Structure 1
Amino acid sequence: MSFTYQYARPALTVDCVIFGFDAGEHELRVLLIQRALPPFEGKWALPGGFVKVGENTDVAARRELEEETGLKQVYLEQFKTFSEPKRDPREHVVSVAYFALVPFLSHPPKADTDAKDAAWFSVEDVPSLAFDHKVILDTALQRLRLKMQHEPVGFELLPPQFTLTQLQQVYEAVLGQTLDKRNFRKKILSMDLLIDTGEVQQDVAHRAAALWKFDARRYEKLKKGGFHFAL
């Protein structure tokens, strides 16, 4: 059943900020796509697109991620709505923004149906972006920095098994500051949220470090009892 509204309404889109941690360079990166269509054809942008009739924004965000980058089943969280009337030159478009956290090496850049190209960029050195996507990226980074200090989402940027050094490097890259090694390890281990796998790194030139896993089940159990993650 169709319906005609008395007043014009803005269009609705979703935009996704995809973060990954490059362990080789010790830096946080963002996955961008090169637009294949106008406006801003050929410019780099965040993956995203219009919400279809009959789908909610969560479904739309995951669909756009897969259509433009090939990403599936990743950590995805809504963080803000951007609604400036002139943010899109075509018409008044409201965008619901999400950030995603992925293990960097597990997700090589892949341009899919709606993009010319896809590539990882350092968050400190992104090219000029289409629309207001630089504002969205900066806002997402601020939200991620705050969230990582109060929830263990940093583990989403790591492979299932990791060293304590890699974990510290993730936090330093996101927070943009150097952390004291002894204090960081003492604090993270005191939370009793890590499982020692009994394994060590393989094929490394230096002394092989122990590999750990995040105990998500224990965290959820502790959280129900009032536990608060804090770094």
Structure 2
Amino acid sequence: MNILLFNVDELSSMGQIQITDPRRQTHLAKVIRPVIGDTLRVGQVNGAIGLGKVIAHSEHETQLEITLNQDGPTPLALKLLLAVPRPKMMRRILQTCATLGVSEITLLNSAKVEKSYWQTPFLQPLSIYENLLLGLEQAGTTQLPLVHKAKLFKPYVEDNLNQWAADSRRLVAHPRSAHPCPNANKKATTLAIGPEGGFTDYEVDKLAEQGFIPFSLGPRIMRVETTIPVAISRLCAL
């Protein structure tokens, strides 16, 4: 935990917060081990960053006096169109996306996505939120990515994707018959990444109809959880 995050409704009219929930309080008590008078780096979810002065601390509760004095890092101008990954990788991928500063994610169905993937508890709103929060804590930032779900590939791509991608450059990671990876820049980008084994040819063609250009990250085939940080680091000026 490189920053202690809190929601706006936790902040009292006196500018103080009380940490009592098990996850944050256990980390404070067993890892950080603050003493009264210490200052911790804090941030308001989707808000500013500052310092929290410890004014009370025990094994079960920590009270901080909050001063917010700077904006959090701005998210990347990057939207991620992501075929729903294997459930056991969902948590790590969401955390990685938040850590790297992805601004929005649309979780998309694909022919190679098993129907059972959509039933995983890791796709429940609370689980998504908690894992994004862990990614923000790692990065020391505050801006939560927006997450959307598209359970039908063809209707979403034909009817919604163009508006969602807006005026961004549109790229799909696809190792076959693809262009070399573009250079990193700060242009608004919508990046599509398929499931294990990649999008089908039909799906790549449908994405191409919406202006998505296939590109390759090299001769090695990577897992989705590896492709995401590699592609983002290659495409975006972090």
Counting helix residues as a fraction of each chain, which structure ranks higher?
Answer: 2
* TM-score calculated relative to the size of structure 2: 0.25
* TM-score calculated relative to the size of structure 1: 0.25
